Amino acid sequence: MVRLTRAEQQVRTHEHLLRAGQEVFLRRGFLGATVEEIAAEAGYTRGAVYKHFGGKEGLWLAIVEADAGTHLQGLRGALDQATCRDDVIAILSGVTGEEAAKWTTVAAEVLAATAQQPEIAAQIAALQQCHDDQVVALLAEHLRRLGLEPAMPLPQLVVLLGALGIGLALRQVVVEGSDSRAVLVHVLEAMLSAA
């Protein structure tokens, strides 16, 4: 058995806690999840969560930050393959499914729970703004390449799509059989036209 260095052990613990946090948040929601449950899921004590992330909110931020890179990489790969407006609409409206809806519900819980915590809310806002800026740059490149013009400034369109996505995902969780994707497709069709 290979013995890990202290630094390697720290990285491994960090990764285990990230995975456990993601699983527990999806299963129990942000408000229902406890630091103790997350730590136990990863095989550690609650002290490990506090040491690595400062608490449940810090763990959430680390999960979102790690997921943002994956999201951007997937979006970049998909947009690189897009050849027309319909491809872009399909890509931007394509994130659906039960896990996506659960994750969006958890994100909405986090926003509501941290709205009265200015320090955490500022960290979430900064993380979201950084992600939005990267999505704007990526969309600008591909919309230009495909000769598409957004009906509103691209930064505002990205905010609109994010807010609409959260609202539609929450609606889908509450209203059985609602077709959130169809709504998003119609909005995107109205928002993107040939230049």
CB contact set of 118 (below 8 Å; sequence gap of 6+) = none
Band (pLDDT 50/70/90 cuts) for residue 181 is: confident
pLDDT in tens, 124-178: 999 999 999 999 999 999 999 999 999 999 999 999 998 888 888 778 777 777 7
Q: Which two tokens stand for residue 156?
A: 């505002």
8 Å CB contact between 17 and 44:
yes
What residues pair up with 149 in beta bridges, in sequence order? 193
Distance of CA 22 to the CA centre of its chain: 12
CB contact set of 186 (below 8 Å; sequence gap of 6+) = none
Q: Which two tokens stand for residue 44?
A: 């550690």
Band (pLDDT 50/70/90 cuts) for residue 193 is: confident
8 Å CB contact between 63 and 18:
yes
pLDDT in tens, 65-124: 988 888 899 999 999 999 999 999 999 987 656 677 778 888 888 888 888 889 988 999
Average pLDDT across the chain, whole number: 89
Band (pLDDT 50/70/90 cuts) for residue 33 is: very high
Q: What are the residue ranges of helices labelled H in the chain?
A: 6-32, 35-42, 46-53, 56-81, 85-92, 98-114, 118-146, 154-174, 180-191
Q: State how far the Cα of 58 lies from the Cα of 37, in Å rounded to an integer.
A: 16
8 Å CB contact between 25 and 33:
yes
8 Å CB contact between 102 and 26:
yes
pLDDT number for residue 133: 97
